[in-house]
Every structure is written in C-alpha cells, then in structure tokens.
Amino acid sequence: MGEEQVKEKNERKPKKIKKKVIIYLVLLLVLIYVIYTVYLLIKQPTKIFTVEEGTLYSEETDIGYVIRDEQVIQGENYKNGMEKIKAEGEKTAKDEAVFRYYSKNEEDLKSKIAELDTKIQEAMANETDIFTADMKSLETQIDNKLKEINKITDVTKLQEYKKQINEMVTKKANIAGEESPQGSYLKQLINERKEYETQLNSGAEYVNSTMSGVVSYKVDGLEDVLKPTTECFASLNKDYLEGLNLKTGKIVPTSDEKGKVINNIYCYIATVSDSEQANNAKVGDDVKVRLPSNNEVNAEITYTSKDDENNVLLVLQIDKNVEELIDYRKISFDLIWWSQKGLKIPNQAIVKENDLAYVVRNRAGYLNKLLVKVKKEGEKYSIVEPYDTEELKELGFTSEEIMSYTKISLYDEIILNPDLSKVE
C-alpha cells in the first residue's frame, strides 16, 4: 500500500466516526421525544372529550325482603297428595278451584276406569249404528287434538290438552250409553264407569281460591309474617330481617300440600340503608328499582322509620313486574334515587363564571366558550343542555347576545380543564 492510499484511509476514518456520532445523536433525540410523548400521554391521556348521549344515576345496591298481599290455601286431606287444577302463575278468580287432594282409593279407581275405557272403545267400535252427529263431531275434535298434541312442548299446555281429550272421550261414551239399548253390554260398561267416577269425585277434596290473583305453590311459611300492613312495617328492623336467616336470591321451595293466591297488582320491598339519600327520604317520594332481571320499575316510598343512628328502614311499593318476584323472598336490587338522560360530559369540562356554567369547544383548533345549563351533576359527570330563548332572556341576555348564542351539540369536542383566559 502506497503513502497516498494510507493518507486517504486515515482521512476517511474521522468522517465515518462523525457520521456515526450524528446517527447516534438523531436516534437519541428520537428516543427522548418518544419517551417524553409517552410520559405526556400517561400524565394527561387526553384533553379532549366528545359530547355524547348518556344517563346519569344516583343509585345504591341493597338487600330487599319481598312483602306480598297473599293468602295460603290448604284443605284437610293434604296427606293424600295434590293435583293442580291451576298452574303456577295462572290467574284465578275468587272461589275458583285451584287444586284438589286425591281420594284414598284414587289409584285403584283410576285403574278400573282406564280398563273400562278400553272395553267401552272396543264395544263402541262394534256398534257403528249408534254414531250420532254429536259423536261424529267429538271424533273429529279428538283427532284434531291428537294431531296438535304431538307438536306441543309446554308441559302445562300438554296437560290441558290431555284433560280436554279425556273429557271429550267421556262425553262421547256418555252419548253412546244414552243411545244404546237398555241392558246392552255397552250400556252396562258405561253405567259401571259412571259409578267409579262418582266414587272418585266424591272422595276428592277441592280447594278454592279465597281471593282473585295469581296462583303459586311456592310457600315458605312467611306469608303471615311479612304482611303488607302498617303494624307489620312498624315491627321491621335490620336485626329482625336478618334474623329470618334467608339466603339472597334463593328460590322459594314448591309445596305439594298447599298453595297460595297472590295479589299481582302490587307488592312491597323492605330494605335497610345507611346512605345519605335514605336518611333524607320521605314517604311519597318517587324512586326507581332495578330488579334482579335488570328491569327498571317505578317505585314509591310508602313507609320509613329510623332503625338506629345511621340505618333507615324503607318500604317501597312497586306495581309493575310483580310476577318476577313471586319466586323470591330475599333479593339483591338497585335502588335508583334519580336518573337523568341527556348530553353527558365530565365535570372537568365545566367552568363557572359569574354563577354560570361554561364549556370550551374545540373546532378545528378554534376555541369557543359555550354557555350550558347543568340539569344534573354527579360525582364525575353532569347532564347538560343548551338554554332556550326565554331562559336566556330571564338571565338578562340582550337580543343580540341571544341571536349569537351557540348551543352545545352532540359530538362536539370540548376541552377538559379549560382556561377561559385563553378563549376569545
């Protein structure tokens, strides 16, 4: 290698080193910028908020005890077993039969009747000359019911169809018996069946409804303890309710000895709360209740009493979705003191000036101060709306100011923690 080549090589070294230093410095600056940007994002995730529709709630989750207007019904022969005439949740009128207790020899009698039905059908098949128009009509109805019954999956409806078919078969047999000659084999079979049926019905005990309402067989023994009376409400407190040793959300067991009829127009929920709103609540106040099903229903406070220094007993009356609570005695629910729908914005976006509320809108970099009316303020958010013309006049705004008034709108971008001094 010559002197010139060595000299040229030595001259290129400082240039390479300088170039590397510049690259490292650029990378270092980029890295510092990225770190600083991330820091700013963590420290202040965003300064902009988009106005949206929303609902603001003031609510609390409480434990409630369901109190109903209900009457237990039971007969004397409950040890014989029960047949339900009215299904769970079915409506009944006063004095209607709800269920019946079996007679002592019921199974034996039913077996004999079933055997006779088979013999009657065979005998009727051999006596086609006795088929009247009524019998042919019943035959058609029975055939139609048998076709429909194969498509039914609801157990209650299935039982009803079977009951209807049995009634039509019995009616058909009775007509055949009336048309058959006296002393005939078919007549003897039908008369024998009638005797067994009479024994069956006379031995059964029917239990009727004592009031109109909805039938239920979920009986827990508290029907006469938790009653919708002022005397009952006055006896309730936290210790008493907790002393009932009920499990929250547990379904009331079904009885096979008794039933009850429930007033399905309204019911009550008793709860104990130590919240500020509960301590300030009054009889007649309207609130909302969010049931375990997540349905929200209106409620009215019908009774309140001080349980101790902090706790307050509240009794709430609801007149919607009452059937949802038939299965339960103790529930977890949300007590909604108030709710407000509208334009929902963070409280950080609102600034006060001369007792008026403002937000700062950012539109393409241009900041505009907007006057807003705060309808409801929550812990973190508020529901706001623009003022109307009459309200602005009452606030003392001139016609020109009213004409130039800019309203807050859905999807507006507003600044969090705004500085009004920087707004034109």
Instruction: For each of the domains in the chain, give its residue range(s) and CATH number, in order of start.
Output: 61-72+221-339 (2.40.30.170), 103-203 (no CATH), 350-422 (no CATH)
The rounded mean pLDDT for the chain is 84
Q: Which residues contact 315 (CB under 8 A, 6 or more apart)?
A: 67, 233, 236, 268, 269, 270, 301, 302, 303, 304
pLDDT digits (tens, 9 = 90+) for 292-338: 999 999 999 999 999 887 899 999 999 999 999 999 999 999 999 99
User: What local confidence, expressed as pLDDT, does residue 185 receive?
Assistant: 77
- 55: nearest Cα among 378, 411, 407, 413: 378
From the list 153, 133, 130, 315, the residue with the least C-alpha distance to 234 is: 315
Q: How far is CA 131 from CA 124, 177, 179, 290, 340, in A?
A: 9, 11, 9, 61, 71
Q: Which residue has the higher pLDDT, 167 or 289?
A: 289
Q: Which residues contact 293 (CB under 8 A, 6 or more apart)?
A: 321, 324
Rounded-to-integer distance, Cα 3 and Cα 225, Å: 115
Over residues 163-184, the pLDDT tens digits come to 777 777 777 666 666 666 655 7
Residues 209 and 71: their CA atoms lie apart, in Å, by 9
- The per-residue pLDDT for range 74-92, each reduced to its tens digit, is 998 888 888 899 999 999 9
189: amino acid identity, one letter:
L
| pTM of this prediction exceeds 0.85 | no
Lowest mean pLDDT across 108-112, 135-139, 289-293: 135-139
- Cα separation, 390 vs 388, whole angstroms: 6
Structure tokens belonging to residue 354? 């001369």
Strand order in the sheet with 213-216: 70-73, 259-262, 213-216, 91-92
Please enumerate in sequence order all residues whose Cβ is within 8 A of that of 192, keeping only pairs 6 or more positions apart, or say none.
116
